A = this chain, B = another copy of it.
Amino acid sequence: MAVRVGIMGATGYTGFELYKLLRKHPAVQVVWLTTESYGGQRLSDVFPCPWDEPLIALADAAVDAVDVVFLCLPHGASMDAVAAVRRAGVRAVDLSADFRLHDPAVYQRWYGAAHKQPALLAEAVYGLPELHRAEIAGAGLVANPGCYPTSVILGLWPLAEAGWLRGAVIVDSKSGVSGAGRKPKLSTSFVEANENLSPYSIGYSHRHIAEMEQELGQAVERRGDAAQSGGPGQAAGFSIVFSPHLLPVSRGILSTIYVALPPGVDEAAVRAAYVRRYAGEPFVHLLPAGQVATLQHAVGSNRCAVGLTVVDGVAGGATLIVTSAIDNLIKGASGQAVQNMNVMFGLAETMGLE
């Protein structure tokens, strides 16, 4: 009895990656694929592959013929499509940013527009299984995390739980070009991106900061440490200073994260917190002491590789450097979506992902 799935937006990079994962998944049947731009064509016309799947218009998708819909639509466009899926009583995994932020005011602050389906925000679960496994299992709507936030939240979560995030947390992230989507534009043209490295939206301006602060701030709130006002991060006493860079590779994100450790917290304590937190997690690869995460630890897999390095004896106090690597299209998008589906439907969490 396979899980019947539909993919809305199958002709972008995340949609196609999702199709490739699902067609090999032993407990899944892909029922339909929609496209915005290639209606009437087949998948093999749009990507260099042998799969002659028809591509249909969104309006023609039979939502009631599937058990779950994956939405790989642009943010903003996904809201109403999710609402339609939920009205039909079908579960949804939304890969857009539309349902990741719980608070409509925070959404409006970062996205510059009012949320069109605020009622659905309440039922949406942030789909990072390592944090919210139980809620995902019962969820009707899972908001699949952003690629950068996945690498950063998994890289920092044990610190947040321990209450060790303070002040400015420096996150220097580097992403492969597929993270920018398949629509042609100058900055992602080969000659512009190749033999180059470009910071963009640096500082406190990239929208993914909101997700990072929401999730990491939760851990602090649960501890009762949070102050009374401000955004989720700042209320909790820290901010994410985030510098994404466009990296001349097709896939992968590496985040190099700098945290000033509180006095008395040493390397052993840090490592113990990560070991305890991630024991048994199939998709977190905690590297042994002395190793750092590289893109090749993660690309092609659904794993997040995490390395820990503590710098002692420097002015300003001990600094922890976390290196955190994922494949932006797998653990950062489509693989995590499949992981969420596995949890939602009671399948083995690793099924179709190894």
Contact = CB atoms under 8 A, between A and B. Distances in A.
A293 B174 CA distance: 15
A346 to B, nearest CB: 21
A234 B317 CA distance: 11
Interface in A279-326: 285, 292-297, 299, 303, 305, 307, 309-317, 319, 321, 323
A258 interface: yes
A200 interface: yes
B295 A197 contact: yes
B195 A295 contact: yes
A354 B24 CA distance: 7
B233 A202 contact: no
A172 B256 contact: yes
A170 B24 CA distance: 38
A297 B45 CA distance: 12
A332 interface: no
A241 interface: yes
Interface in A228-251: 233-234, 237-239, 241, 243, 245, 247-251
Interface in A182-221: 182, 184-186, 188-200, 202-204
Given A50-B303, A315-B234, A249 B188 contact: no
A11 to B, nearest CB: 11
Given A189-B182, A190-B190, A191-B182, A237 B200 contact: no
Contact of A248 (B189, B190, B241, B251): B190
Copies of the polypeptide in the assembly: 4
Given A292-B200, A309-B203, A195 B315 contact: no
A209 to B, nearest CB: 10
Contacts of A189: 177, 182, 184, 188-190
A249 B197 contact: yes
Contact of A204 (B185, B237, B314): B314
B256 A245 contact: yes
Given A189-B188, A321-B203, A241 B258 contact: yes
A29 B238 CA distance: 49
A48 to B, nearest CB: 4
A200 B293 CA distance: 10
B241 A195 contact: no
Contacts of A319: 168, 170, 203, 241
A297 B51 CA distance: 11
A324 B189 CA distance: 23
A44 B270 CA distance: 23
Contact of A13 (B191, B239, B250, B317): B191
**Interchain residue pairs A-B with the least CB separation, the first 10:** A167-B316, A168-B316, A239-B314, A203-B311, A184-B184, A239-B315, A172-B172, A48-B297, A177-B190, A198-B294
15 contacts: A172-B256, A174-B245, A182-B189, A188-B189, A189-B189, A192-B296, A195-B250, A195-B299, A196-B295, A196-B296, A197-B254, A199-B294, A199-B323, A204-B311, A233-B315
